[in-house]
Amino acid sequence: MPRPGTLEQRLFREMCKPVFKPIVLDKAEMLAQKDLAKRAREEHNPRRDFLVSKAKEDFFGQMDGRLVLVLQPLFFEYHQFVPKLNALFDLDYQFKGFPAEILRLAASGTEWTTFSDSFCFTSSPNKYIFGDPSPEKLTKVLKLLSKTPFLVLLGGFLQYRVMNVQELTSYSQLPTTIAENQQQTLALLTAPGNSLATNISYHSQTLVNLMDSLESQQRKK
């Protein structure tokens, strides 16, 4: 039997005894309480609410009038990624990233739902780059990404429209200056006239040849 100790020790032990007896719960009640606590944490998550507000401001708030390219990253070393990051920065293209779940919550009930439904349906860590929508710069970016095997281009988003890789390539080949637009328009306008003139000349020459042949045959007779 342990010794009772000094008077101070016995008083200390008496003072440290719990006033209320510990509540004993069965396993079902404990699991139910844990489930309720988990739901409460999910419904009132200040970190998630903060990220959703930042995504609305820093991600979707910057999309209007800009081109967004969606990339699927493969395995790479960081020293391989830095030169590509700097090259894209020189072209005014910058990376922005948020978890797919946060982007879905931020886009819910807004005009950006099309984007979240197209690119945020999985938990894959996509990378998003924002930049100038000019075809000239997009051509340079696509050329850079073609030499970057660890960044796979999935598609793009411009003015509330989802674009696949082929559409992005076609968009990058559009004329970028007024002179190029005028030249392309002039070529389209003059194409029917040139084709008509060519056909008339061809058929006229064919008719002349046939008449000459017929005349030569009549002379032989």
- 190 pLDDT exceeds 70? no
Q: Could you tell me if 65 and 110 lie in one domain?
A: yes
CATH number of the domain at 56, please: 3.30.70.1730
Q: Residue 129: its pLDDT value, please? A: 92
Q: Could you tell me if 125 and 73 lie in one domain?
A: yes
Q: Could you tell me if 139 and 182 lie in one domain?
A: no
Is residue 205 a part of any domain in this protein? yes
Mean per-residue pLDDT over the chain, rounded: 81
- 198 or 161: which carries more pLDDT confidence? 161
Domain ranges, residue 210: 177-221
Is residue 25 a part of any domain in this protein? no
Burial 3-31, CB ≥16 within 10 A → b, else e:
eeeeeeeeeeeeeeeeeeeeeeeeeeeee
pLDDT digits (tens, 9 = 90+) for 23-52: 777 888 888 888 988 888 878 888 888 999
- 194 pLDDT exceeds 90? no
Is residue 209 a part of any domain in this protein? yes
Q: What is the crossing angle of helices 100-107 and 46-54, to 10°?
A: 70
Q: Could you tell me if 168 and 60 lie in one domain?
A: yes
Q: Could you tell me if 168 and 86 lie in one domain?
A: yes
Which helix (DSSP H) or strand (DSSP E) does residue 31 occupy?
helix 27-43
Q: Could you tell me if 69 and 132 lie in one domain?
A: yes
Q: Could you tell me if 164 and 195 lie in one domain?
A: no
How many structural domains does the chain have?
A: 2
Is residue 26 a part of any domain in this protein? no
Lowest model confidence (mean pLDDT) among 79-88, 116-125, 127-136, 207-216: 207-216
Q: Residue 1: its pLDDT value, please? A: 44
Residues of the chain with pLDDT > 90: what percent? 13
Is residue 36 a part of any domain in this protein? no
- Among 199, 196, 175, 172, smallest CA distance to 185 is for 175
Could you tell me the pLDDT band of residue 54, with boundaries at 50, 70 and 90?
very high
